[in-house]
Amino acid sequence: MNTLAYLSIKELSSLLSRNEITPQEIVQSCINRIEKHDKNLGSTLEIITPKVNNSIEGLSSLHNIPGLIKDNICQKGQITSAGSKILANFISPYAATAVQKLEHAGALSLGRTNCDEFAMGSSNETSAYKLAHNPWDTSRSPGGSSGGSAAAVAAGFVPWALGSETGGSVRQPAALCGLVGSKPTYGRVSRHGLIAYASSMDQIGVFTRTVYDNALVLQTIAGKDHYDSTVIQQESPNYISGLTGELKKGLKIGVVTNALNAKGMHPEMKAQLLLALKKLESLGAELVDVSIPMMEHAAATYFVISRAEAASNLARFDGIRYGYRAKHVDSLQDLYQKSRAEGFGHEVKRRILIGNYVLSAGHAAQYYESACAVRRMIRQEFLDHFAEVDLLFAPVTPAPAFKIGEFAKNPLQMDLQDYFTCSANLAGIPAVSFPCGFVQNLPVGFQLMGPDLSEGLIFQTGYAYEQATEWHTMHPKL
């Protein structure tokens, strides 16, 4: 049955439609593999056996295809804890719109994946429950905050998983685990039912092992929703139809040279990125060097804005309305304080403190308001470049997966994991990371960023690259 482990959605769906396999066999094979290997990986928090859909075959290729969902995306009637003790017993009364759309397409959820607490982190180490490990080397982190989703897909537990991005939490773990990871345009996917971290950047994204599968899941979850006022009110496009294996005629890719030459970039990593560029060029892309100096201010800008929004969003966890409530309290104030002190982990508290500071009277203009002004400049710089080039090529991370605990004494160093990713979140533009080889037997990736709603072009380009390379066919030995 293990032969099913690394089949794509596309392959599983065609086996199903030819009646060569039953949905129950697929589900059982996934669950067996998780039971056998997840003790070493810690990628899941809860596994549920879904009801397969024996109704007339759905039109969607996701019909009866199992996947996993990050623990900060609500599944109806299931615990959704955002990796936090404060929501340990929170049972969601509704499903996130993205989850509902997947259900509508007949996809099956096998449960929820481990993640950093409230999606705050880059290593999965802030999860209140357990560590997650990188299937390519279990002494290393799978990245974060959607580390569990990435580890589960890379380990062949399921062909797809949902994650969420605020500053890079899908692309970074995807790159560190050798996967395709998409961060759609802000508003492309409804945030309804995604537990908020920093609402002006939060987006649900997708992990898969192939570009086709990623495009399929993203087009399923994207689109209109009256529960989210920031969603783009446009029908979801068909990304699959653009996957021709060829690049768009005359495709111009801007190579972000200041990112590629950034201080601290692993030399072997850079070599892999240059090879990926050569490949894109051989497929017909025109490469032009561009420099985006504003990108160098993105991490600091992201730091301020994300903390400010987090402090506001997390004010709702007061021990009364949701989740954990402290016992033995002597006043209402005491109840609030103890519930929050006992329920939140260290990193979340640190961010709430910083967020309240940057928003406080006397400091807001200096920190929060200037960060918002810089953010507008970052977006403008991207838009100016997209007047000249179709897409931008950049690294996702400066190095392959790091050891668990490597940044324990240096949280600011950990924050630099977002250095190349968070500008796309600040600008609201789509970005997808694609695997492009190995450095010291660990996977690495590059990202393509594009103007608003250019997901189709990004997938088309990534698909042509994927068809010309073999990275997506390589899997870790568990």
DSSP codes joined into one string, 301-316:
HHHHHHHHHHHHHGGG
Contact flag: residue 121 with ligand GLN (CB under 6 A): yes
CB 150 within 8 A of CB 177: yes
Q: Give the footprint of ligand GLN on residues 185-214 (CB under 6 A).
A: 197
**Where do we find the tokens 């953010």?**
375
Structure tokens at 224: 């209109």
Q: Between residues 304 and 464, which has the closer beta carbon with respect to ligand GLN?
A: 304
3-state secondary structure of 14: helix
Q: At closest approach, how far in Å is the CB of 116 from ligand GLN? A: 7
The stretch near ligand GLN (CB under 6 A) out of 40-48, 86-94, 163-171, 434-442 is 163-171
Q: Between residues 276 and 378, which has the closer beta carbon with respect to ligand GLN?
A: 378
CB 348 within 8 A of CB 82: no
Q: Between residues 198 and 458, which has the closer beta carbon with respect to ligand GLN?
A: 198
For the chain, counts of helices (H) and of strands (E): 15, 11
Q: At closest approach, how far in Å is the CB of 294 from ligand GLN? A: 19
Q: At closest approach, how far in Å is the CB of 430 from ligand GLN? A: 15
Contact flag: residue 418 with ligand GLN (CB under 6 A): yes
- Is the Cα dihedral 124, 407, 121, 327 positive or negative? positive
Q: Between residues 86 and 424, which has the closer beta carbon with respect to ligand GLN?
A: 424
3-state secondary structure of 252: strand
The stretch near ligand GLN (CB under 6 A) out of 99-107, 166-174, 427-435, 451-459 is 166-174
Contact flag: residue 220 with ligand GLN (CB under 6 A): no
Pair type for strands 431-439 and 180-183:
antiparallel
Q: Between residues 75 and 124, which has the closer beta carbon with respect to ligand GLN?
A: 124
Contact flag: residue 120 with ligand GLN (CB under 6 A): yes
Contact flag: residue 301 with ligand GLN (CB under 6 A): no
How many chain residues are in contact with ligand GLN, going by CB under 6 A?
15
The stretch near ligand GLN (CB under 6 A) out of 60-68, 115-123, 209-217, 405-413 is 115-123
Phi, psi of 312 (to 5 degrees): -70, -45
Q: Between residues 29 and 425, which has the closer beta carbon with respect to ligand GLN?
A: 425
Per-residue string for binding with ligand GLN, 124-153, x by CB under 6 A? ---------------------x--------
- Kindly tell me which residue out of 13, 166, 210, 219 binds ligand GLN, with binding defined by CB under 6 A: 166
Interhelix angle for 455-467 vs 267-282, to 10°? 100
Query: CA-to-CA distance for 235 and 274, rounded, in angstroms?
Result: 37
Contact flag: residue 169 with ligand GLN (CB under 6 A): yes
CB 307 within 8 A of CB 411: no
The stretch near ligand GLN (CB under 6 A) out of 57-65, 160-168, 280-288, 403-411 is 160-168
- Kindly tell me which residue out of 167, 205, 254, 395 binds ligand GLN, with binding defined by CB under 6 A: 167
Burial class (CB in 10 A: 0-12, 13-18, 19+), 157: buried
- Kindly tell me which residue out of 7, 119, 155, 247 binds ligand GLN, with binding defined by CB under 6 A: 119
Q: Is 405 left (phi over 0), alpha (psi -120 to 50) or beta?
A: left
Q: At closest approach, how far in Å is the CB of 337 from ligand GLN? A: 25
Q: Between residues 61 and 123, which has the closer beta carbon with respect to ligand GLN?
A: 123
Q: At closest approach, how far in Å is the CB of 374 from ligand GLN? A: 17
- Kindly tell me which residue out of 50, 111, 135, 168 binds ligand GLN, with binding defined by CB under 6 A: 168
Side chain identity, residue 425: N
The stretch near ligand GLN (CB under 6 A) out of 119-127, 213-221, 389-397, 444-452 is 119-127
Contact flag: residue 165 with ligand GLN (CB under 6 A): yes
Q: Is 69 left (phi over 0), alpha (psi -120 to 50) or beta?
A: beta
Q: Between residues 122 and 219, which has the closer beta carbon with respect to ligand GLN?
A: 122
Pair type for strands 108-113 and 160-165:
unpaired
3-state secondary structure of 28: helix
Q: Which residues contact 344 (CB under 8 A, 6 or more apart)?
A: 84, 85, 86, 117, 314, 317, 352
Catalytic residues: 70, 145, 169
CB 111 within 8 A of CB 47: yes
CB 168 within 8 A of CB 130: no
Q: Between residues 149 and 306, which has the closer beta carbon with respect to ligand GLN?
A: 306
> Where would I find the beta strands (DSSP E) of 170-235?
180-183, 203-208
3-state secondary structure of 446: strand
Residues that bind ligand GLN (CB under 6 A): 119-122, 145, 164-169, 197, 306, 417-418
